Amino acid sequence: MMLVALALDLALGWPKALYDRIGHPVTWLGALIAGLEQRWNTDRPARRMRGTAAALLVIGLAALVGLGVQLALPSGWVGIVLGGAIAWPLVAMRSMHTHVAAVLHPLQDDDLPAARQAVSMIVGRDPAQLDPAGVSRAALESLAENTSDGIVAPLFWGAVLGLPGIAAYKAINTLDSMIGHKTARYLEFGWASARIDDLVNLIPARLTGLIFALVSGRAKASLACMWRDARQHRSPNAGWPEAAMAGALAVRLSGPRIYGAEVTQEPWVNSGAADPGPADLRRGLGLYARSMVLLAISLCCIAIWTIWPL
């Protein structure tokens, strides 16, 4: 099913006409989360408890829907194809490439305002002060982190647990992106969402870093950078694919950044390397494409082994 989902996403993405007609599962989840947050994130003494209840409700509902659909599928190849079609919108391989390429093209044309506008669609920081190197860094960091969150992790949990797994993971990831922030409003209410997201991404994040290293042509440097610098990252998981990509491309990532009016002094990843530029961003997209090929081959091998055990 995950191979079918990956193939459909590669071929079609999520068509705008379909989005305009029915939306997207992430927007459905987002509407549910926003409604719960608006109603339950009010009583300070009970914020953590209510936030935990909201997270478990959203995750449980997503998993239950996935399980119900999976149990209703016919057996054999028809069920596999139908299940893959249902999982298709939960994989973001094509859109990830599209969004990063949208940053690369204006950067190559020396159109910094357009590049800043494009990168603002995929990062949370303020792009207004970013120079070309800063825009390239932000795009590469987003590419690395979202390869794990948007592609490897959902496919991993879908391969392990089927439709309930990929649906529950997408609910967890959406919860974290909406309410898992360390702000006054969400620190307590989003606590459980952030912790659960950290837990379910432990394996996929490290797996993504390994995949980057294996297809990079600089496996030793990529693995060394990942092992050395990943734990210095503010996130327990994002540092692994980011460090692997930094080592693979021989550039530095992370470092100080601006969120709203706040400047955070983050440590550099691969600090002794040069800043990235448009050429490095282009190489990053090439690394991403090769990683997706290896991921698809790996899924294919697992599927064959599942059908015809050795």
pLDDT number for residue 254: 87
Say which residue the tokens 């599962």 belong to: 25
Helix (H) or strand (E) holding 263, with range, is strand 262-264
pLDDT in tens, 93-111: 999 999 999 999 999 999 9
pTM of the entire predicted model? 0.93
pLDDT grade for 10, boundaries at 50, 70 and 90? very high
pLDDT grade for 259, boundaries at 50, 70 and 90? low
Tokens of 296: 């698809």
Helix (H) or strand (E) holding 269, with range, is strand 268-269
The three-state secondary structure class of 251 is strand
54 and 194 in contact (C-beta within 8 Å)? no
From the list 71, 77, 95, the residue with the least C-alpha distance to 16 is 95
pLDDT number for residue 240: 97
pLDDT grade for 34, boundaries at 50, 70 and 90? very high
How large a percentage of the chain has pLDDT more than 70?
96
pLDDT number for residue 188: 93
pLDDT number for residue 263: 62
pLDDT at 302 over 60: yes
| Average of per-residue pLDDT across 267-285 | 94
pLDDT at 165 over 90: yes
Q: Is residue 182 packed enough to be buried (19+ CB in 10 Å), middle (13-18) or exposed (0-12)?
A: exposed
pLDDT number for residue 262: 63
pLDDT number for residue 258: 62
pLDDT at 241 over 60: yes
252 and 246 in contact (C-beta within 8 Å)? yes
pLDDT number for residue 125: 74
